Structure 1
Amino acid sequence: MAIKMKKINSPFRYILTFGKQHKIWLFVSAIFSLFDVVVSMLIPIIYQKLADILSFDNTVEKFYTYLWFVVILLLMSTLNIFLRQLSTSRFTQYTIRNLRNKIAEHIQNLYFPYFNKHHSGDLASRVNDDIELVKNLLIQISNFVYQPLIFICSIIYGLILSPKLLLVTITVLIFAIGLNNIASKPISKFSAKLQKQLGKTISMIQDTVNGIYIVKSFNLEKKLQNSYKLYQEHVYHTEMKIVKRRLYTMILSTSVLMIPMIVINLYGGRLTFIGEMTIGKFTAFLAIITYLSNPVIEVVNLVSNVKLAKGGAERIYEILTYPTEEAYENKDTFEIKNNISVEFKNVSFSYDGQNSTLKDIDFKLFKNKAIASIGASGGGKSTILGLLFGFYKATEGNIKVFGNAINEIDLKALRSQISMVTQNTYIYPTTVAENISYGKRNSRRDEIIHAAKMANAHDFIMELPNGYDTVLGGIGLIYQEDKNSA
């Protein structure tokens, strides 16, 4: 069955929907941003008054009055920044929490072929590293409100103070932005490439740990170590490309702050000497220069972070838009319609859509009969089980369970009628009782103990430190190792 992926149009907009219920915090952040803009713009106005008092009025009382205004405004600005960042952080944390929960739920319901195409290490990289990139961008979302507003207000105030000086300053800033855009352009491409490479390295580590018995048995340590080093070389070179690009943008950011200051002091000082500006206006312009340059610096950083997060957002979006099993389920109830427990009729299947793994398979399994499937490796035994569980869809033919076509019944209802014991049993990192009860929801303790006795495991379980309440994967395994070593 061919799977069509949804076209990625706006991964960031989709990710923001996970914070929709908590958008009140964005509104609160925006309000504090407005307050911060007002308070910030009052400060250079007070500086202008202070300089004019020193130059013309020379009244000590007025000077101290305005000085206290400055102190109060600075304290208010600090409080506003704290509350603005706190509100933004709440929205970010809620959004990331909901996003992580959705990804965890979605991964469990993904259509099975996805796991054949993507390694668990790649999934781990997307869930952790890619989300962290998006989180780092969301935490700065309040700057999308504050920085443009403070910049616009500074432009207006700068026009009032000195149009000539403002024009020179803006020219320098525009030049710096242009250079930054050129320098940061490849960051998004390198970021996406880096995340894929990190996914491969994580996958390799997981494979090594999970298959450590085979690795040591066949002396594969050196071979795997060389492969890992090769992956790390790729990661190193990609990371260095990103580091260099970010260093370029950092140098530009520093220049954005330094060059306008030099220009203002030289050109602004000349305008003051020839009488086109008062000392108060010159002082005020020096105060607003940070409001003109900081937004540019923030734009530089935001552009860089957006490009870094873009690759991660697209990889997250790819997971969340991949088809899930629910998309193929019909919610009809499961009924036993006849005594034919399993029926394959003219069933064919191909993993890649070209080479057939199964072709025209026909058989019937009857109720209360024991059947063995024997064949060479790669003969299709596991594929038949995969089709029976609904992990894959038959390319051709029909499969029925007790007279129910499996494409017309709920997969969960179907799987509840089948028990499977695999060669490699996975033990969840929780208590013994919980591990046993996974086979039946809401199991009573006496049912759990009965099941353990039937499996001849009760005596061993009772020897564990906390019996059925022993946590496996932790103290349980440690206890076993200590006991065996003794």
Structure 2
Amino acid sequence: MKVWKKFIKYYEPYRFLFFADMFCALIVSLIDLSFPVILNFLSKYLFVRDKEYIMKMIVYIGIGLLIMYIVKYFCQYFIASWGHIMGARMENNMRRDLFDHLQMLPFSYYDENNTGEMMSKLVSDLFDISELAHHGPENIFISTLKIIGSFLILLTINVKMTLILCGVTIVMIIFSFIQNKKMQRIFMDNRKKIANVNSMVQDTLLGIRVVKSFANEKLEKRKFGKANKNYLRSKISTYMAMGRFIAGNSFFEGILYVSVVISGTIFISHGTVKPTDLAIYVLYINIFINPIDVLINFTEQFQKGYASFKRFIDVMETDPEIESRKNAEIITDVKGNIEYKNVSFSYDNENYVLKDLSINIKAGENIALVGPSGGGKTTLCSLLPRFYDVTEGSITIDGKDIRDITLESLRSFIGVVQQDVYMFSGTIKENIGYGKPEATDEEIIEAAQMANIHDYIMSLEDGYETYVGERGVKLSGGQKQRISIARVFLKNPPILILDEATSALDNESERFIQKSLEDLSKNRTTIVIAHRLSTIRNADEIIVINNEGIQERGNHEELLEKQGLYAYYYNMQFEGLGA
């Protein structure tokens, strides 16, 4: 019931369309039910009259039937068009809600879930849900109405035959219920298997350059073949279950006809049923069985839609974890004083990455974090914009706990330049403009100039309108990095995080970008995660962190004099041994 309540909620904006659809379905059902009744009436009261009267009345009856089927045409048109439009709009709303919710989920969710699976939920799952949203209520309503209506009319023709019919139908319903329960599990497995195929395809296509560089096309084919075969096995199980379900119900439909023929013949021989009544009875048997066929064929669609909606609900019920508090403030005037107070952090609440760490950074200071991989440097920086929340302790900006600041305003005054730069599929202008979506062309050009990338952009045939390719594949690492720096110049935040922004670049690119980063850092509170220690000599304070916490802190000269960890790392780099 919990799942159905959430499903029904999506009908609320389209109540008029829904009830209009149901009204049209009612009209269609009544017209279908009325035809045998009209035929029965004509055979009893019109066909027994003289030829002249019959010819006179048949004109009016023909016009009445024509009007009836014209009405049915418009009702069927509404059901087929606007009913589907309602389903499409509901699908649109669900996709919007799912996308919005995915935007709110923390990094930890993306650490554990595959993008291909998320795409499967956004596209194929929601299509199945929209088909269920349209056809579900309509098919159930029309079928139920026809079954009940034809059953009541059958009772008026012959009670005993109808009770026999009812007994066979009850057995049929029990069989269908048992088979349905089995199919639920199979269809849920089916959705998971196709999501795995999507994940496999996405991983291979995004990593196609790595695949080709290692000549591992055969390996990828084997991996895809395995996922594809698992999906095929699931589909085979699905169709075998569907086969049992459809064949079983078809068998019971045959038994319905057999029971009517045998019981009807017996009642005719005893003179309790007329042959003409049996003929009308068989007509209503068709009306009785037709909606059962509809429900049988609808079962696959229902199971697909239900399984997909359950997967949709699983995501929607995932706790965003990191949200703005109810009374959180929107801050605009930020100086940039940052304080980590006894901060501890763990991804699983057991193994701590950071433990009881305290750092005080004054506005405008440049602080560098140094240490081995896995020491918690990136995690420390990720806590500031609340990509993750502290497990213990607190972080303040200008004396305000960051949890008391709205997420949007908090992240609006923090700029991040990462080692792994992400380029959106689009133009250079669009990628720079991502730092400030409402920016003018002049502002974008100014940001590019400050990032030392403007001259290169202008040397391109299409300039700022140059398409960068998927993930910026048409640009070099240094070019992508400078575009990411231009984004942050455009954003103009008072706090800056540089996460190993030059470690993946060659020396020439690093010189260009280091100058851009120095310009970017002016008059901003800056936290630098450094791999190349030559880039942080001028930092106001260098903090050496490993998995046991803060080991050393001071400026470049002070730490070299201590001859500790920092001096060890520095000497390793400049002796040519690498760090």
1:30 is aligned, of 22, 42, 45, to 22
Which residue in 1 is equivalent to 2:12? 20
Which residue in 1 is equivalent to 2:437? 441
Which range is displaced more, 208-217 or 15-24?
A: 208-217
2:331 is aligned, of 307, 331, 334, to 334
TM-score w.r.t. length of structure 1:
0.87
Which range is displaced more, 146-155 or 301-310?
A: 301-310
What is the alpha-carbon distance in structure 1 between the residues aligned to residue 396 and residue 343 of structure 2? 11
Give the greater-gyration-radius structure (CA).
2
User: Cα distance, 1:219 vs. partner?
Assistant: 4.7
Which residue in 2 is equivalent to 1:385? 381
Q: How does 1:76-475 map to 2 (within 5 A)?
A: 76-140=71-135, 141-272=137-268, 274-324=270-320, 325-326=322-323, 328=325, 330-334=327-331, 340=337, 342-464=338-460, 466-473=462-469
List gaps (5 residues or longer) in structure 2.
477-579
User: In angstroms, what is the RMSD of aligned CA positions?
Assistant: 2.9
User: Cα distance, 1:449 vs. partner?
Assistant: 1.3
User: Cα distance, 1:390 vs. partner?
Assistant: 0.0
User: Cα distance, 1:173 vs. partner?
Assistant: 2.3
What is the alpha-carbon distance in structure 1 between the residues aligned to residue 224 and residue 311 of structure 2? 23
Which range is displaced more, 349-358 or 73-82?
A: 73-82
User: Cα distance, 1:27 vs. partner?
Assistant: 0.8
Report the number of matched residues.
470
Residues 119-156 of structure 1: CA deviation (Å, up to 9, x unaligned): 11121121123212222211212122222122211111
User: Cα distance, 1:44 vs. partner?
Assistant: 0.5
What is the alpha-carbon distance in structure 2 between the residues aligned to residue 87 and residue 273 of structure 1? 51
List gaps (5 residues or longer) in structure 1.
1-8, 481-486
What is the alpha-carbon distance in structure 2 between the residues aligned to residue 202 and residue 330 of structure 1? 41
> Is the Cα contact below 8 Å between 2:107 and 2:387 reproduced in 1?
yes
After superposition, the Cα gap between the structure-2 partners of 1:107 and 1:337, relative to the gap in structure 1 and judged at 3 Å, is: closer
Sequence identity (%): 26
> Is the Cα contact below 8 Å between 2:187 and 2:307 reproduced in 1?
yes
Q: Which amino acid aligns with 2:422?
A: Y
What is the alpha-carbon distance in structure 2 between the residues aligned to residue 54 and residue 230 of structure 1? 69
What is the alpha-carbon distance in structure 2 between the residues aligned to residue 28 and residue 327 of structure 1? 41
What is the alpha-carbon distance in structure 1 between the residues aligned to residue 358 and residue 231 of structure 2? 50
SS at match of 1:358: strand
What is the alpha-carbon distance in structure 1 between the residues aligned to residue 474 and residue 276 of structure 2? 74
Q: Which amino acid aligns with 1:20?
A: E
What is the alpha-carbon distance in structure 1 between the residues aligned to residue 60 and residue 269 of structure 2? 28
What is the alpha-carbon distance in structure 2 between the residues aligned to residue 479 and residue 53 of structure 1? 86
After superposition, the Cα gap between the structure-2 partners of 1:15 and 1:399, relative to the gap in structure 1 and judged at 3 Å, is: same
After superposition, the Cα gap between the structure-2 partners of 1:55 and 1:165, relative to the gap in structure 1 and judged at 3 Å, is: farther
Q: Which amino acid aligns with 2:145?
A: L
After superposition, the Cα gap between the structure-2 partners of 1:251 and 1:149, relative to the gap in structure 1 and judged at 3 Å, is: same
SS at match of 1:363: strand
What is the alpha-carbon distance in structure 2 between the residues aligned to residue 329 and residue 422 of structure 1? 31
After superposition, the Cα gap between the structure-2 partners of 1:462 and 1:281, relative to the gap in structure 1 and judged at 3 Å, is: farther
More strand by share: 2
> Is the Cα contact below 8 Å between 2:125 and 2:308 reproduced in 1?
yes
What is the alpha-carbon distance in structure 1 between the residues aligned to residue 467 and residue 104 of structure 2? 27
Residues 406-425 of structure 1: CA deviation (Å, up to 9, x unaligned): 11111221211221122222
Residue 43 in structure 1 maps to residue 35 in structure 2:
yes
SS at match of 2:323: helix
Which residue in 2 is equivalent to 1:11? 3
Q: Which amino acid aligns with 2:36?
A: P
- Of structures 1 and 2, the one with the larger relative CO (CA 8 A, separation 6+) is 1
User: Cα distance, 1:313 vs. partner?
Assistant: 1.3
What is the alpha-carbon distance in structure 1 between the residues aligned to residue 379 and residue 343 of structure 2? 11
What is the alpha-carbon distance in structure 2 between the residues aligned to residue 43 and residue 337 of structure 1? 77
After superposition, the Cα gap between the structure-2 partners of 1:388 and 1:199, relative to the gap in structure 1 and judged at 3 Å, is: same
Q: Which amino acid aligns with 1:21?
A: P
What is the alpha-carbon distance in structure 1 between the residues aligned to residue 152 and residue 424 of structure 2? 63
SS at match of 1:103: helix
TM-score w.r.t. length of structure 2:
0.74
